[in-house]
Structure 1
Amino acid sequence: MFELRSLQEKIGFALLLCAIAFFLFFPVYWALISAFKSNQELYQLDATLIPNELFWGHFITAITEGNILLQLRNSLITSTCSALLNATLAALAGYSFAKFDYPAKKPLMLLILSAQMFPFGVLLISIYPMLQAVNLLDTKTGLTISYIVFALPVSTYMMYSYFRQVPNELIEAAKVDGASNFKIFLRIVMPISFPAFITVTLYAFMWSWNDLLYSMTLVTSEENRTIGPGLLLRYINENNADWGGAMAASFLAAAPVVLVFAVLQKQFIGGVTSGAVK
């Protein structure tokens, strides 16, 4: 057990924590104050740690000019749908691996996990012609389906690890009472596995929300564009860089993720730590 006995050790540990906190949170603080600075103050040579005057123009411009609200809506639709679809597929696959015996089960599990070793850009080379063949390029449906590759292998293994802890006696008792396999999964196993389901849903949601490569490649029209490419193409390009507007729009874009995590943090933490104690 790590113990701090002397005063010097406690002071040193506190200073170390302060240094780590500064390293982690100062960039966030700097981005926040940059969003509240006018362009005149933002680009002056003598940088200020506190804005001389709170300037709301960047936030107003981000909302009233451009398509940030449309892009946020598109991101919410694609990320939420892909996260729920990913979690559903991961739950079905994980339950199958955990509670059923069939040939080549372990090799199939390793095959699914091996997909995580490939860079997402390599997988995009295969996904693009498949979506093109079924006319799903430049659609929210196609983008939603493509997002599944981000988190499905890890999500499947997370659900598999959780389902292994579900007592087999509980399932056998339900079978004695005449319940089918699907009814056992839906009515008995899933209710007690809700924290793990929320965990993989949030995991997939954050992967999809932060995507830039797939959304820029598979979607080209303005009406289907998500928040990542929208911010990049509007605020940072070869002609100029509006850093104040970019910071303000970034905080508006991050708000839904922070809100979702704040609401579901108990279930998320419960799902992550569920395997620590049997």
Structure 2
Amino acid sequence: MTALLPESRVAADSTHAIVTGSARPAPRRRAKQPPRWALWIALVIIAVFAFAPVYWLLVTALTPNSSVFRFPPALFPTDITFEHFVDVFRRSELFVYLRNSVVVSLITAVLSVVVSMYMGYAFSKYRFRGRTSLMYFVLSSQMFPQALLLVTLYLVFAQFGLLNTYLALVISFTTFTLPLCVWMLKGFFDNLPDDLIEAARIDGAGPWRIFHEIVMPLAAPGLVASGLFAFVRGWNDFIFALTLAGPDKQTLPPGLVNTYISEADTAWPELMAASLLVSIPVAVAFMLLQRFLVGGITAGAVKG
């Protein structure tokens, strides 16, 4: 029997591989990743963009009044003073604004989470007529500018005697936080397996018990993320708190403006120092709840 030539042997091996189904798959080309130095440059640019305003707040707050408007400005202050931070604690009205912000933001967060968790669970796990239309109707409320609804809310609250009350601020803030919280929690509930709920139903658990004892503990990251979003919305709002609340019910953003900005002058160093101090509670909340926040936001992004 004559030996096969190299070309014939390769052809024969290929034919045998095709027939027997033992052909090796062609190697996949790996996607070319960007070099490490490019990632570091992008990270540095993002960090500078994010922290440069905060750094300038700190520099201005530590600069004496006589050197604030010096040109060219100094990136690293030579004369440092803490008098502006001390001035913040001397103003008793700022503590009233702080109390109002805490009360309004906490109530807004709790109300938004309580309402949105039931709505999100109903949209995710129940099928009823008009479900899709109602979901998009809730989402469509985000299409309107918030300032456009301010006049309408003002007239409604004035008719019912709710102006200059905590309730007016809570209702207006919840109006805008609720749609996003509902969709965020719906995406989280979509990832919870239906088999788990069905197993609890077979064991005799009712809908109320299933939701509160089984679903809610698993949905803790989503609930925390939604609550933190609603809290920040109430903490940072300016235009609604300025318009719907009087001096004794205003929150920190309009309160700081009324305290440090006037028609004749603006106390920039004191304003920067106060802005840094009032940002600390939100920053601490983000650091403590970072694990829940990341998990809640990304839960609805991947199906599985």
Instruction: Sort the TM-score into its range (normalised by shorter chain).
Output: over 0.9
Q: Which amino acid aligns with 2:99?
A: R
Residue 196 (str. 1) matches residue 226 (str. 2): no
SS of the residue corresponding to residue 237 of structure 1 reads coil
CA contact (8 A) 1:38 1:55 kept: yes
Q: Which amino acid aligns with 1:107?
A: S
Q: What is residue 68 of structure 1 aligned with on the other side?
A: 94
Tell me the alpha carbon deviations over residues 50-101 of structure 1, each in whole angstroms, 9 at most, x when there is no partner. 2223211111111112511211111011011101110111101001111111
Aligned residues: 273
CA positional deviation for 1:16: 4.2
Q: Distance in 2 between matches of 1:122 and 1:19?
A: 35
Q: Distance in 2 between matches of 1:16 and 1:173?
A: 48
Q: CA distance change for structure 1 residues 230 and 167 in 2, over 3 Å: closer, same or farther? A: same
Q: CA distance change for structure 1 residues 267 and 20 in 2, over 3 Å: closer, same or farther? A: closer
Q: Distance in 1 between matches of 2:137 and 2:175?
A: 13
CA positional deviation for 1:217: 0.7
Q: Distance in 1 between matches of 2:71 and 2:43?
A: 31
Tell me the alpha carbon deviations over residues 89-148 of structure 1, each in whole angstroms, 9 at most, x when there is no partner. 110100111111111010000000000000111222222222223322101122112110
Q: What is residue 3 of structure 1 aligned with on the other side?
A: 33
RMSD of aligned C-alpha atoms? 1.6
CA contact (8 A) 1:131 1:142 kept: yes
Q: Which amino acid aligns with 2:268?
A: W
Q: CA distance change for structure 1 residues 196 and 13 in 2, over 3 Å: closer, same or farther? A: closer
Q: What is residue 248 of structure 2 aligned with on the other side?
A: 223
Residue 154 (str. 1) matches residue 180 (str. 2): yes
| Structure 2 residue ranges without an equivalent (≥5) | 1-30
CA contact (8 A) 2:187 2:301 kept: no
Q: What is residue 246 of structure 1 aligned with on the other side?
A: 271
Q: Which amino acid aligns with 1:272?
A: I
Q: Give the TM-score normalised by the residue count of structure 1.
A: 0.92
Q: Distance in 1 between matches of 2:72 and 2:148?
A: 45
**What is the percent sequence identity of the aligned residues?**
36
CA contact (8 A) 1:158 1:200 kept: yes
Q: Which amino acid aligns with 2:46?
A: I
Q: How does 1:42-81 map to 2 (within 5 A)?
A: 42-81=68-107
Q: Distance in 2 between matches of 1:173 and 1:213?
A: 49
CA positional deviation for 1:12: 4.9
Moved more, 21-30 or 94-103: 21-30
SS of the residue corresponding to residue 224 of structure 1 reads coil
Q: What is residue 142 of structure 2 aligned with on the other side?
A: 116
SS of the residue corresponding to residue 73 of structure 2 reads coil
CA contact (8 A) 2:187 2:299 kept: no
Q: Distance in 1 between matches of 2:203 and 2:264?
A: 70
| Structure 1 residue ranges without an equivalent (≥5) | none
SS of the residue corresponding to residue 248 of structure 2 reads helix
CA contact (8 A) 1:150 1:208 kept: no
Q: Give the TM-score normalised by the residue count of structure 2.
A: 0.85
Q: Which amino acid aligns with 2:180?
A: V
SS of the residue corresponding to residue 67 of structure 1 reads helix
Q: What is residue 186 of structure 1 aligned with on the other side?
A: 212
List, as ranges, runs of 4+ consecutive aligned residues in structure 1 with deviation greater than 4 Å: 10-13
Q: CA distance change for structure 1 residues 86 and 173 in 2, over 3 Å: closer, same or farther? A: same
Q: Distance in 1 between matches of 2:84 and 2:33?
A: 48
Q: Distance in 1 between matches of 2:208 and 2:153?
A: 31
CA positional deviation for 1:276: 4.1
